[in-house]
Amino acid sequence: MEQIRAVLQEYGITSVEIEPITDRLYRVIDPYHNQYALKKSTLTEKSVMNWKHVLHTANSNNLVNVSPVYLTKQGELYYERNNEIFYLTPWLLAKSEPKNLGKIFQAIGFIHRTTKKTQSFSPESTTTSFKEYKKHCDSARLSLLSYVEQFEQRRYMSPFELLVCTQFHVLNNVFRELIRKLDQLISNLDEDDGVWSTSLCHGNLRMDHIIESNQLLFINWENASYHNAIQDLVSFFKNNVIYYDSPTDDLLNNFANYMNENSLESSEIYLLTIYLLDPTYYMDLIRTYYDGNDTSMIDQIKKLQQTYRQLIFALKFSQHVETEYESLSLEDLES
């Protein structure tokens, strides 16, 4: 604790109580009963510069949903000690009720729209890349069929093999829908003007990085960077649909709040859907199992089932956005 106390002194805090929450997070209470969160970050000398830029961007754009960071007595956003980087934020007490997905989507959309920049890209080279990916998907579908045929020939299938065979018909639909969306994206790129947008992205958007107290705040911006906004949406969706009781319908229904705040282009909606439908990790799990590994059967089944739920959601999402947004785009063109 001496190192933690030394770090706190750089903020002018003489702590009364230091409570380790994890090996990297400490709750600190000062003599005036103020509470703080001291984070021993994973930032490096290289990545900390990007992190500082994120916080300056949040401040200059008045992004009230980005969790504030206290300054040291020297006016710095962090303090480095023994080659480790620490930073201090308020200790945020979350409400006990479920988080409001509508507000979350609206806040994400606001951050993306406010920090949006545009840049040019080559539609031709991008189209070539997606055509190659389409070939990869065709090959992966045949590989999955081959695995299923081999598993079914065995007299006694393992629980993992049985699960793969049971899920095959859904995965076949995933591949079919993925190919269809790739064709739509490639067709869309042929008419694209070569302009692409980037926004400030959190980089690891999940529910435990969202605190809803007096206001909605996103914490832990250590992985933040500038990418297209769909990168955040992909991670947010995937992180929140892996459990059997995941709020899939609420996620779909509240996505409109994001679109009202930061309307995505047709190519972005296609690409978001393609990322969600991507079966690469599912195939990697089967390949790893087939080649043999030290992971327990339970853990392998758990990962397979969670990935399967992500792909089920992807199919629902594809149908949802096609009904709600892609059809509207066609109507706009015809009017």
- List, for residues 8-34, the tens digit of each pLDDT value: 999 999 877 999 999 999 999 999 899
Three-state SS string over the chain comes to CHHHHHHHHCCCCCCCEEEECCCCEEEEECCCCCEEEEEECCCCCCHHHHHHHHHHHHHHCCCCCECCCCCCCCCCCCEEECCEEEEEEECCCCCCCCCCHHHHHHHHHHHHHHCCEEEECCHHHHHHHHHHHHHHHHHHHHHHHHHHHHHHCCCCCCHHHHHHHHHHHHHHHHHHHHHHHHHHHHHHHCCCCCEEEEEEECCCCCHHHEEECCCEEECCCCCCEEECCHHHHHHHHHHCCCCCCCCHHHHHHHHHHHHHHCCCCHHHHHHHHHHHHCCHHHHHHHHHHHHCCCCCHHHHHHHHHHHHHHHHHHHHHHHHHHHHHHHHHHHHHHC
* Domain shared by 37 and 109, yes or no: no
For residue 334, the model assigns a pLDDT of: 43
Asked whether the predicted pLDDT for residue 310 surpasses 50, the reply is yes
Q: Domain containing 35: what range?
A: 2-90
Task: Say yes or no: 15 and 138 in one domain.
Answer: no
Please report which confidence band the pLDDT of residue 281 belongs to, taking 50, 70 and 90 as the band edges.
Answer: very high
Residue 96 located in a structural domain: no
Residues 41 and 135 in one domain: no
pLDDT number for residue 327: 58
Please tell me the predicted confidence (pLDDT) of residue 6.
Answer: 94
> How many separate domains does the chain show?
2
Tell me the per-residue pLDDT of 31-79, one tens digit each, with 9 for 90 and over. Answer: 989 999 999 999 998 899 999 999 999 999 999 999 999 999 999 999 9
189-241 pLDDT per residue, tens = 877 778 899 999 999 999 989 998 778 999 999 999 999 999 999 999 999 99
Give 143-163 pLDDT, tens digit per residue: 999 999 999 999 899 999 999
Q: Which of 66, 90, 114 is the last residue of a domain?
A: 90
Same domain, 257 and 325: yes
- Read off the pTM: 0.91
Average pLDDT over residues 282-296: 96
